[in-house]
A = this chain, B = another copy of it.
Amino acid sequence: MSTPFLLASRFAGVTTSPVRDILSVVNSRDVISFAGGIPDASLFELDDFRAAFDHVLSHQGARALQYATTRGEPELLEQVAARLSRTLPTHPDQVQVTSGSQEGIFLVGQVLIDPGDVVLVEQPTYLAAVQAFAMAGARLVAVDTDEHGVLPDALAAAIAGHHPKFVYLIPTFQNPTGRSMPAERRRAVADVLLATGVPLLEDDPYGELRFEGEAALPLASLPGMAAQTVLLNSASKVMAPGLRVGWLRAEGDILRSLEVAKQAVGLQSAVTDQLAVARYLATCDLDAHIARVVAVYRERRDAMSAGLARMLPEGASLTRPEGGMFLWARLGGATDTALRLPTAVEEGVAYVPGWPFFAGEPDRSTMRLSYVTNHVDVIAEGLDRLGRAFGW
C-alpha cells in the first residue's frame, strides 16, 4: 500500500543531516566519535543546574510549569541583555528567546525567505542552517572564503549578482572550519553589507570558547551594523545543549515578526529551562565555568592538531582554530572522505565528511573533526584508528 501522505515539494530538497545519521550509529557502538559538536558532559555544572532547577520549582514552580509569553521569561531576557551588552549595548526588549540557536536560524528563514530567494553563505557552512533555509524555499549561494573567512570582494560580487535576502555568517570559530575573521576582515565585510543594505544573520555560538588570540567583536557591534543584523547566541556550547535555550538579538519590526513566527512554531520555549538558565546566570559564575572548559578544550585541540599534523599525508592541510570545537582537514587529491567513512567506523572512529557543508561544488576530500568530546588519550587512540582507516 502506498502512503496516504503526499510530501510538500519543499521536502524534496531536504534530507536528514549526515552528522546526526552518523551519530545514531556511533552512539550504539564502541566508536570514538570526532563527528558531532558534542560538549564534554563531564564538564557540565551539574550541581549548579540541579540547584537552579530546584530553586525554580521551589520558588517559581507555578510559573515554571505554566504557559508564558512567546518573547521569553523577563529574568532571562535581562541576563542575556546584560551579557550581550559586554560587546553590544542591548536592551531586554531587543532579545527573543529561542529553543537553541537552531530555532533562531529557522525563524529568520521563515520570516525573510520567499521560495527562490537567495541566501548567501560561507563556503563551507553549517549544514543544519542549509536545511533550515531550504525548508523556507531558499536558493543557497556559496561565497568564497580564505583562512580569514568570507572574501569581501567575492561577497560584494555575489550581492550584486544574486540580490540575496540576507547573508548568513559564523564569523568566530566557524562551523565546520574553526576559522575566525580577524578585525580587519570584519570591518571590510561590514562595509560591503552597509553599502548594499543587505541584512546579516550572524551566528555566534562558539565565540566565548576562545583559547588564545584577541577577543573578536561580533559584526553586529560594528558601527551601523546592529540595525541590519540578527545576532544568534546560545546556552548550548557554554552551558548545556539539552536545555534548548538560545536567544537572538535584533532591532525594529523584525523582532515582532520573529515572535509571531515562534508563536506558530511552538508558542514558547520550555519555561522551566528558561528560568533555570536565568537563575544559573544570576547566581553562578559562567565566566569561571567557561575558563575551565576552555582550558580543557585547548589541551584537546593541541593534542588533535599535533597528532593530525604528524600523520596527514603530503598535500593535506589542516586549520588551527583559536577556539571553538572543530578542526577542518583537507586531504586533497581524489580522496573522498564520505566513501572512507564506513571503513573508519569499522576501525572504531567517526568524523563528518566535508561535502554536506558545501552549498556550492563540494570538496570531497575534506572532513570535520571535533576535539571537544574526548580526553586527550582517547583522541590519540582515535587518531591511530583514523590513520589505519586512511592508510596513513
Contact = CB atoms under 8 A, between A and B. Distances in A.
A4 to B, nearest CB: 5
15 contacts: A3-B252, A4-B197, A4-B198, A4-B199, A6-B165, A8-B114, A8-B165, A9-B114, A15-B260, A16-B259, A44-B61, A49-B57, A128-B263, A244-B271, A272-B276
Interface string A117-138: 1000000000010011011100
Contacts of A266: 98-100, 102-103, 106, 244, 266
Contacts of A227: 1, 4
A8 B14 CA distance: 20
A363 B120 CA distance: 46
Contacts of A17: 263
Interface in A270-302: 270-273, 276
A270 B273 contact: yes
- Interface size class, chain A: 35 or more
A77 B113 CA distance: 34
A65 B242 contact: yes
A279 to B, nearest CB: 13
A10 B106 contact: no
A7 B117 CA distance: 11
A7 B7 CA distance: 25
A85 interface: no
A228 B270 CA distance: 31
A66 B102 contact: no
Nearest to A274: B242
A392 interface: no
A243 interface: yes
Given A114-B8, A114-B9, A254-B5, A38 B14 contact: no
Interface string A7-45: 111110011110010011000000000001011011010
A63 interface: yes
Interface of A: 1, 3-11, 14-17, 20, 23-24, 36, 38-39, 41-42, 44, 46, 49-50, 53-54, 57-58, 61-70, 98-100, 102-103, 106, 110-115, 117, 128, 131-132, 134-136, 165-166, 197-199, 227-228, 236, 240-244, 252-254, 256-257, 259-261, 263-273, 276
A273 B241 CA distance: 13
Contact of A260 (B14, B53, B54, B254): B14
A41 B67 CA distance: 10
Given A11-B257, A44-B61, A266-B106, A272 B114 contact: no
Given A4-B197, A242-B271, A263 B20 contact: yes
Nearest to A44: B65
A94 to B, nearest CB: 14
B265 A103 contact: yes
Contact of A243 (B112, B128, B272): B272
